[in-house]
Structure 1
């Protein structure tokens, strides 16, 4: 009888704090040029999620590509990020883009267009992984935003 009560208690506690749904990917926003010099252009952005579960987990970005004017210029990878339980949260994304990757001759027409319009098209493309206990889920990211540049 004692074993049955202990087993029931363990099962009830495990089921009550389970994973109801996967965290919901909301958007990528706040894409900004943080710094630019002759060697690098540093872009930052925030990926927003909502975790409806009562348990926390971890997010990790692997090979999230950054495209500027349809030209792949950088990859973003990050350490595991702790996901808070039952709330909306964001993870920071930062990309160091070598200036040489943007200023090549193959990209001359899009550079001229960006110079005239004073904007560049920045696209984040790839996946973000969520892990908790033995459960994992991959989110597809494909966000495009026009970023104003200062000349």
Structure 2
């Protein structure tokens, strides 16, 4: 009789695990959140070189989510200039655009301080490449959305 109970318990556990594997993938939204553009790019060079910007994203799903973490590398003219590692709790509306503020400390050693100063004075165009992931959460289930966005900006004093 004990062996019968043990077999029934094992089958119950196996069935529960199987159902969990079917349900959890359904918690992820059908479509990925899309990075539309990065705007309002400001370089603040007063104390530490700091790049501030707003990432405009779009949630095509009919469900609300939460942005938990942004983990990206920023390349300026092909050189790694910064790493974005921001923790946050930002509500994402359903089927709407939303803004995520970015704040990045620039690595002037990689860019070259003198080159950067002359480029800013001359109004040079920079090729900015954002590459990494945005970590979101839906009903407690985390998932990542890849980001690979390039744009050209001109910085002037």
TM bin, normalised by shorter chain, reads 0.5 to 0.7
Measure, in 1, the Cα distance between the counterparts of 2:99 and 2:148. Answer: 16
- The answer to whether the 8 Å contact 2:54/2:101 transfers is yes
1:138–1:19 CA distance, 2 compared to 1 (3 A) = closer
1:70–1:111 CA distance, 2 compared to 1 (3 A) = farther
Shift of 1:73: 1.5
> Deviation per CA, 1:34-76, whole angstroms, max 9, x where unpaired?
422464142313131224324x221133421111111112111
Measure, in 1, the Cα distance between the counterparts of 2:149 and 2:54. Answer: 11
Shift of 1:117: 7.0
Aligned residue among 55, 65, 76 for 1:57: 65
What is the number of equivalent residue pairs in this alignment? Answer: 130
Measure, in 2, the Cα distance between the counterparts of 1:100 and 1:125. Answer: 20
**Which structure: larger Rg?**
2
Match runs of 1:37-56 below 5 Å = 37=46, 39-54=48-63, 56=64
Aligned residue among 57, 72, 78 for 2:80: 72
Q: Identify, as 1 or 2, the structure richer in helix.
A: 2
Shift of 1:120: 1.1
Partner in structure 1 of residue 137 of structure 2: 131
User: After the TM superposition, which parts of structure 1 deviate over 4 Å for at least 4 consecutive aligned residues?
Assistant: 110-117
Match runs of 1:2-151 below 5 Å = 21-30=30-39, 32-37=41-46, 39-54=48-63, 56-78=64-86, 79-103=88-112, 118-150=124-156
- The alignment's TM-score, normalised by the length of structure 2, stands at 0.64
Partner in structure 1 of residue 15 of structure 2: none
Cα root mean square deviation, aligned: 3.1
Shift of 1:28: 2.7
Measure, in 2, the Cα distance between the counterparts of 1:133 and 1:67. Answer: 33
- The alignment's TM-score, normalised by the length of structure 1, stands at 0.66
Shift of 1:123: 0.9
